[in-house]
Structure 1
Amino acid sequence: MPSFVGAIDNGTTSSRFLIFDENGNLVIGHQLEYRQIFSQSGWVEQDPMDILGSVISCIEGALRKFKLQGNDARNLKGIGITNQRETTVVWDRNTGKPLHNAIVWSDTRTQDIVKKLAGPDEGGADALRDICGLPITTYFSAVKLRWLLENSTEVKEAHDNGSLMFGTVDSWLIYNLTGGKEGGVHVTDVTNASRTMLMDIKTLQWSDRCLDFFGIKAEILPEIKPSSTLFGKMNHVELNEIKDVPIAGCLGDQHAALVGQHCFQAGEAKNTYGTGCFMVFNTGTEPIPSKNGLLTTVGYQFEGEPAVYALEGSIAVAGSAVKWLRDSMGVIKSAEDINGLAESVKDNGGVVFVTAFSGLFAPYWRPDVRGCILGISQHTTKGHLARATLEATCFQTRAILDAMNADSGKPLKLLRVDGGLSNSDICMQMQADILGIDVVRPQMRESTALGAATAAAIYLGIGIWEGGFKAFAERSRNSTESLQTFAPEVSEKARDDQYSLWQRAIEKCLSWDV
């Protein structure tokens, strides 16, 4: 009988469960959006039970479709998990219930804590960078957990009495899917752990120095494992038909996309255009400290293999800017409408949109900045605004690429892309024009889910992944996968003039005092 592998893909605004066959082809999937909570300016929360419920519903929905195709759920041999990173979940060890809403990665409520912890007396924003590879900023989990300890009596009491459990979304899901308070396992993988500011990226263990810095007890943390190993077995009352199916892969979403795009060689990079936008550059088995505002992170680790490191540039707002045009401004009725609107004008008409809804991430690291639209005139149309919205992500990607080239010393010649916004031909052509290099889009664009499935399937030896990581990585180098290439179509002068206008807009935005 054929074997299949599933992938739980929890994103910032929706969850999905996708099933792949033993050749890596997508068979079926199911997706559900879930509630986002914006109770105050800069606050972004989710109900952990909504996250869990959406995942369970997606698994049930995908399995229904799977069986209608004539397949047997018993042929699902393994599951991988990929998730929104840095989002912080706390729950009670005794009840298994959340103690607070999850604080999402893009939440900026911790600005005052960051100012205090990153002050000159504490060593500045880079006080822990030599250990964890990250600057002290609102982005990462440790400062969110610190805020919870300072602002939630229930969380602080649980921390003090030993009943608190902390994790990123992967840990919360695995705990519940393997039994919850009735024996659920408390684990994470190296990629998610590397986004907390609490892990030593060289030893791949929790750092005593970082824990002391943030005032966090080690007992509340999950066990760190490689990205491809046995995390536990499915044991949830609502999912009995896949009981005991092994969860054998786990990666943060951007790391999963790195695997899904087969970026297994040092010097290869991918860019994922989702709610945010994230460029990840494989640097090999040694971490490279960034001198240009990037993050040093763990790319992935397969069991029995050394960890592979990466440089990352993170953009807080990408697809969420399109959603803002749709939901908040009513400029478009569906996300896809932005393409036709952007194509209705030949250029941006001098309009530049700095989409700093949650501050600016790499390479600027200014959580206090807010968005601005510059260059509006009486001739500005919806088309100009649509085009400027797409260009905003492309310009920020250029800033990140310049930083990566400076850090690595090896200019990138090709960028692999995936994620929802990569489906836009006009956006990808803009990206190639602004970067001045080829932008390559695979035919199978579910790179994040495929990466999670790959991690599980390699550990379990399923189908094309049989033989282990090294064998699969070698085969992927000789792949004949269908790719679409967007080549630059503008002159170097036109490219530089465009980017110069963006840099001027950034300067204006950075000087705006709110």
Structure 2
Amino acid sequence: MSGKKKFTIGVDFGNQAAQAVLVDVSNGKIIASSVYKYPHGVITDQLPNSHVVLDPDWALQDPKDYINALKRNIPKLIADSQISPDQVIGIGVSFPGSTVIPTTSDGTPLALLDEYKDEPHAWPKHWTHAAASDEAIQLIKIATDRFETFLDRYGGNISPEWFFPKVWQIFNESSSVYSAAERLIEASDWMVWQLTGIETRNICAAGFKALWSKSEGFPLETFFSAMHPSMRDIVEEKMKHEITPLGEQVGELTETAAKWLKLNPGIPVATGILSDHAAVPAATVAEPGKTALILGNHFSHMVLSKKEHRVPGMCGMVEGGIVPDLIAYQAGQANSGDHFNWFLENGIPGNYEKEARKQKISLLSLIEEKAAALEPAESGLIALDWWNGNCSILADNALTGVILGYSLKTKPEEVYRALLEATAFGTRKIFESFIASGVPINQVVVTGGDLVNNNLLLNIIANVTNIEIRVAETRFPSALGSAMYAAVAAGESRGGYKSIQEASQKMARLRNKSYLPNNNDKKTYNRLYSEYTLLHDYFGYGHNNAMKRLKNLRDTILEKKRS
């Protein structure tokens, strides 16, 4: 590269805020960053400026928040960095999925039209929207009865968080919205549409969330007819089905979008991508045998391989879903960071808070210090990390958490450590499923939010899995990954890269520190893992359905109280 430095912009539209970064293409250094918190966040109770109250398990967002995030973040990047807009050679965006937006044929979200502003189904369904559980169950039954081969690519499961359960819920509960929705589109594709004026479908979201594959495409019309005859042509009628590879230029920044962003029109815009998947090359993971473990409210396990294998409990398997020509596998743990936060908010007595204030440290620092002083198995506790169900390898949202071994002497730090260990045991269970199915895991890199700084957690994962754990350097993995794909979309002629592998080599960094298994701890954890496996199989494979019976009883009581 010669002349003036070249930069790309990556924007990740997270749950509560959008993170944007301006990145030096030559070395991956983040020159400027900006975070815009959505005024409406995730809408779970009541529609904005409306009397409409949402049912349980609903999660929506306001599409205006997305556009306003761009308008605030990107001009701030340019102003803070003092670079020339001429130096920006590409833009990339990522969204969590499946976030489904019903729109008109020109891309206008129905939620922004007066006639639909009080209709919940017209609003973007956030990926955490779980109210389509009945539809997901029925889809699994239809696919199973029809011997659909695509089901194997998803470990035999279809999540209510995915594209078609949400779309079917719209059809079942609001025929007017379904009819008016000339397009049903992932938020990652919708944002690229707003920037370029070109509607496409990205391979990542289509493959991991909408049952598409290179070899088979979307399911056949007869599958959708089995959902309802009126849904037979949903793909043809409501989903423009040109699937675009990652790292490809979809189009150029339009005059309108350029004015929003204070940039030049004509800048290449990359294919959209899902948030967790964008983080993978930003963690230096772009080759077979490498695994990215993305730590957040939930954990995502992303594995790359040259060959296609059926892995029990995986959430998806997509050729080209992260790196072209490689098979990308995804597994996950459904709560992880969420249940650590749950414990910190609900499980620590007041005297610990007083002690933290006295030492002038955070409550989290105090509990981690106390938990780190414990030996493995010292507490006598073991837990199942199913506070929000089990994603992999059981794929059962109805399961709930367990802590076994309480006594009158049990202390908060012992419970906290048991939760950390349960998460590590769940990760080992996932890794063993991959390895047993022929997918090697030779290197693990963690990335994500604040949990990458939790030394105790990372040490426990290394000891439980018996694998060295490396840590990605960036604080903005999904935004940085989006900027990397933008550098590939820009191409070598503009100062970018020819492949995402090359971009990852040049633009991603690892911290110097790594976490190595400790032989003494490893032996103890092997014994604890045996106990975990007994509990996992006992409750997870239906030997005792007490969790589900209790959950059903709870739901019955709550329903009576609401009525």
Q: Is the contact made by 1:298 and 1:309 (CA closer than 8 Å) also made in structure 2? A: yes
- Is 2:91 the counterpart of 1:79? yes
Match of 1:12 in 2: 15
Partner of 1:135: 157
Are 2:488 and 1:484 equivalent residues in the alignment?
Answer: no
Residue ranges of structure 1 left out of the alignment (5+ in a row): 179-183
Letter aligned with residue 169 of structure 1: A
CA distance in 2, matches of 1:328, 1:185: 48
Please tell me whether residue 166 in structure 1 is matched to residue 169 in structure 2. Answer: no
Query: For 1:125 and 1:36, how far apart are their aligned partners in 2?
Result: 37
Counterpart CA distance in 2 for 1:80 and 1:336 is 36
SS of 1:401's partner is: helix
Please state if 1:399 is matched with 2:429.
Answer: yes
> Residue 415 of structure 1: CA displacement?
1.0
Query: In the alignment, what sits opposite 2:443?
Result: 414
User: Which amino acid in structure 1 is aligned with residue 515 of structure 2?
Assistant: F
Q: Aligned residue for 2:29?
A: 25
1:43 paired to 2:64: no
| SS in structure 1 of the partner of residue 79 of structure 2 | helix
| 8 A Cα contact 2:322 2:328, kept in partner | no
Contact 2:22–2:32 (CA under 8 A) maintained in structure 1: yes
2: CA distance, partners of 1:17 / 1:98: 26
Q: Which moved more, 1:245-254 or 1:137-146?
A: 245-254
By how many angstroms is 1:366 displaced?
A: 0.4
| Distance in structure 2 (CA, Å) of the matches to 1:487 and 1:476 | 24
Q: Pick the aligned partner of 1:341 from 346, 363, 367.
A: 367
Letter of the 1:61 counterpart: K
Query: What is the rounded CA distance, in whole Å, between the counterparts of 2:36 and 2:346 in structure 1?
Result: 21
Which structure 2 residues correspond to residues 183-202 of structure 1 after superposition, within 5 A? Answer: 184-202=197-215
CA contact (8 A) 1:338 1:386 kept: no
Q: Please list, as runs of the form range in 1=range in 2, the aligned pairs for 1:204-353 lying within 5 A after superposition.
A: 208=221, 211-212=224-225, 214=227, 215=231, 216-222=234-240, 223-234=242-253, 235-236=256-257, 237-284=259-306, 286-293=307-314, 295-300=316-321, 306-325=324-343, 337-345=363-371, 346=374, 349-353=379-383
Q: How does 1:442-453 map to 2 (within 5 A)?
A: 442-453=472-483
- Which residue of structure 2 lines up, in the alignment, with residue 360 of structure 1? 390
- 1:173-188 to 2 correspondence within 5 Å? 173-178=191-196, 184-188=197-201
Distance in 1, matches of 2:414 and 2:210, equals 40
How far apart, CA to CA, are the structure 1 residues paired with 2:385 and 2:66? 26
Judging changes above 3 Å, is the alpha-carbon distance between structure 1 residues 4 and 145 closer, same or farther for their aligned structure 2 residues?
A: same
Report matched runs for 1:105-116 at 5 Å: 105-116=127-138
Amino acid at match of 1:32: Y
Contact 2:101 2:109 (C-alpha < 8 Å) held by counterparts: no
Q: Is the 8 A contact 1:258 1:280 kept in 2?
A: yes
Return closer, same or farther for 1:419/1:131 CA change in 2, 3 Å cut-off. Answer: closer
**Larger relative contact order, structure 1 or 2 (CA cutoff 8 Å, min sep 6):** 2
Match of 1:181 in 2: none
User: What is the CA distance between 1:327 and its match in structure 2?
Assistant: 5.9
Alpha-carbon distance change, 300 to 224 in structure 1, aligned in 2, over 3 angstroms: same
- Tell me the distance in 2 between the aligned counterparts of 1:194 and 1:308: 13
Structure 2 length-normalised TM: 0.78
| Shift in Å, 1:144 | 1.3
CA distance in structure 2 between the aligned counterparts of 1:438 and 1:66, rounded to whole angstroms: 37
Quick one: distance in 2 between partners of 1:437 and 1:88? 37
Task: Find 1:54's aligned residue among 50, 63, 69.
Answer: 69
Partner SS state of residue 24, structure 1? coil
Q: 1:30 and 1:336 mapped to 2: Cα distance?
A: 26
Name the CA distance, whole Å, in 2 between partners of 1:55 and 1:498: 48
Q: Is the 8 A contact 2:160 2:166 kept in 1?
A: yes
Instruction: Note the alpha carbon deviations across 1:145-188, whole angstroms, 9 max, x for none.
Output: 11111112332222xxxx4211222012222333xxxxx32223
Q: Distance in 2 between matches of 1:260 and 1:140?
A: 25
Quote how far apart the aligned CAs of 1:340 are.
Answer: 3.9
Could you say what the CA RMSD is over the residues aligned between the two structures, in angstroms? 3.4
Tell me the amino acid that sits aligned with residue 42 of structure 2: Q
Cα drift, residue 125 of structure 1: 9.3
Secondary structure in 2 aligned to 1:307? Answer: coil
Equivalent residue for 1:426, pick from 447, 456, 473: 456
Aligned residue type for 1:44: A
Q: 1:259 to 1:381 in 2, by over 3 A?
A: same
CA distance in 2, matches of 1:146, 1:53: 29
Deviation at 1:377, TM superposition (A): 3.2
- Amino acid across the alignment from 2:95: N
Kindly indicate whether the alpha-carbon contact (under 8 Å) linking 1:211 and 1:217 is maintained by their aligned counterparts in 2. no
Where does residue 92 of structure 1 map in the other structure? 104
Are residues 1:150 and 2:179 paired?
no
- Larger-Rg structure: 2
Contact 2:471/2:510, CA 8 A, preserved across alignment = no
Could you give the per-residue CA deviations for residues 96-149 of structure 1, whole angstroms, max 9, x where no partner exists?
A: 023423323333322222332323785289763257776323232111111111
DSSP-derived class of the 1:380 partner: coil
Letter in 2 for 1:82: S
Structure with the largest fraction of strand = 1
SS in 2 for 1:9: strand
**Could you tell me how far apart the structure 2 residues matched to 1:53 and 1:428 are?**
37
Deviation track 1:262-316 (CA, whole Å, cap 9, x = no partner) reads 33322221111123211111112x43222454532245467xxx53212221122
Q: 1:197-224: per-residue Cα shift (whole Å, max 9, x none)?
A: 3412425567546544553342311432
Instruction: Give, as a single letter, the amino acid of the residue that structure 2 aligns with 1:192.
Output: A
Change in Cα spacing, 1:366 to 1:413, as seen in structure 2 (3 Å) is same
Indicate how the Cα distance of structure 1 residues 87 and 189 shifts in structure 2: closer, same or farther if over 3 A, else same.
same
Which 5+ residue runs of structure 2 have no aligned equivalent? 46-54, 112-121, 552-563
Is 1:249–1:452's contact at 8 Å kept on the other side of the alignment? no
SS at match of 1:172: helix
Deviations 1:318-351 (A, max 9, x none): 3333443456778899998535412313157244
1:414 to partner: Cα distance:
2.5
Higher helix share: 2
